Structure 1
Amino acid sequence: MSSSVAVPSISVVIPAYNAGPYLAATLQSILSQGADGVEVVLVDGKSSDNTLAIAAAFSKLAIKLISEPDRGQLDALQKGLRVASGDIILWLNADDLVMPGAFAEVRSIFAENDVDFVYSDDAAFDEERRGYYYGAPIRGLSDLDHFLFYRQLYSECVYWKRSITRYLSNEAYELRVYTDYAFFLRLRWRRRGRWTNKRLGAFRIREGQASAQFSARKRQEYLSVKKMHRDYIGMSWPTFVLAQLIYWPWFVTRQRMLPQLERAGRRILRVLTHDRKRSRETDYFYSKWLLPKGSTSPRNDERA
């Protein structure tokens, strides 16, 4: 008599506002993983463009829709998290992508390891220039690496058990640049994570992103997030400063110097191989994976 193991379900929470130029590509990258056991929670801030019409075109995806005004990205995200039903959660911005095979990789890691969250390095792409890049390596990123200094988890590359979700208070709703930093500091604190060398998500580089729009607020928000987390874990300011001084050499060695050496090694390999591997990845990404900007419906050859 054989027994079957249930495949964990995945909820993808997407905060969106006037995401029409990019949303179809984002939804297609989810649909191409296979629609079984997948739900999308689209939290729309009352868009005035075709965002909702694009979502409706993806009839093979199970989409829960919330469409109402919100107080920003964090408010939208936390609304979506409260109605998500999947065993595993992904926060995906409306212009970013899931990479090929990501859901299968994540499900396999959760099935084989006793962990609370899975994360990876990211890829980034600039559709206007047909650019395709690798983000900084973050293998082994610890709680203290993340908190004492600034080495960020990539939101499109973090999957976590719904049962460990932690919510931020109203004071964080005003964040515009460091929303993801505040959220993941809280989520992953004292939790067990596992890094995978498969890049799980891709970040879209485009004009008008929050980091550029609100650049004048970056320093103030950064310090505010640090204080919020110090208050959350009960760490005083003098203790925080002392911890930074003690931990600094270890952080620099593991999260600055070694990644730089790794990236230098990759650059040398790219020169020696005439960059064939990256060229193949770029060609596949743009010709087979990414729906062109402005698309409004799924591919005819969708795989789900």
Structure 2
Amino acid sequence: MLFTSYTMKELTLKNRIVMSPMCMYACDDESGRVNNWHKVHYPSRAVGQVGLIIVEATAVTPQGRISAQDLGIWSDEHVEGLKELTSLVHSQGAHIGIQLAHAGRKALVEGPILAPSAIPFDEKHRTPEAMTEQHIAETITAFAEAARRAKEAGFDVIELHAAHGYLINEFLSPLTNKRTDAYGGDKDRRYQLLNDVIDAVKQQWSGPLFVRISAHDYHPEGLTPDDYVDYARRMKAQGVDLIDVSSGAVLPAVPPNIYPGFQAAYAAQLRKEAEVATGAVGIITQPELAESILASGQADLVLLGRELLRDPYWPRTAAKQLGVTLEPPKSYNRGW
């Protein structure tokens, strides 16, 4: 199944191999603009026959960057470089998405940082400002404007980053959201920011929309996959096409039991109980594991992270091991 096509809306991926968004921390200055590194790094995975490449967490506001070296999409000035990037990937027969993000309390940039509540991530991070309703409204608008720019730049997919302890995840989790207004308190109100961001983005974007989540907080008072079944149903009802299922990182603690494909069970639960398409991610390095996740119905797509840093041509390795004939780029025929 790994090399079968997958269709969402009007978009058909040539296979089910997805490059997971991974921060490169490679911007030459603090402008957030695409540079030569990005123009080599991402298209090389397209040459390697990855079906969908998702560009790293790209900040919707300057103060929402994880680091000062992150890519940005908060200004129209970013569109030109992003458009060149999508053109390069498309020219090699792959599709490309972008992860829209706000770091929240995990931002490491200078100046004030924002979060649902004034609680630092750990003793090494600064205490954020609790967001006002004006801050929230401006952030929702920033996501919508980022979606408009992503469309102008030619991206095929948008993914909203609601995982790993960044801003939207901070609003969802009771561990980090201690608000008592419309955006915090009970489960419904903690979902409100993600609800409003999805609605605002869809005003600008009609293509496939993913949301990356952390399906487990790994804390007795935190969220579990059972909670995310409900949230996944809501996202599907709003028009989200796929839930990209990761876990953890809302707190510094690591998951208690990490092994290859350890998060696939969460993707499977959401896929079955919420009846929503899912992507599985997390230490998926072996082709046989990727194939089994898809064949067993745990997920619809498989996302690879570090393995595609180590081997940009992993799809070729996978095809050989699974006995699939993979058409190489024309210029590589002699060595494939």
TM-score scaled by structure 2? 0.25
Of structures 1 and 2, the one scoring higher in RCO (CA 8 A, sep 6+) is 1
Bigger fraction of residues in helix: 1
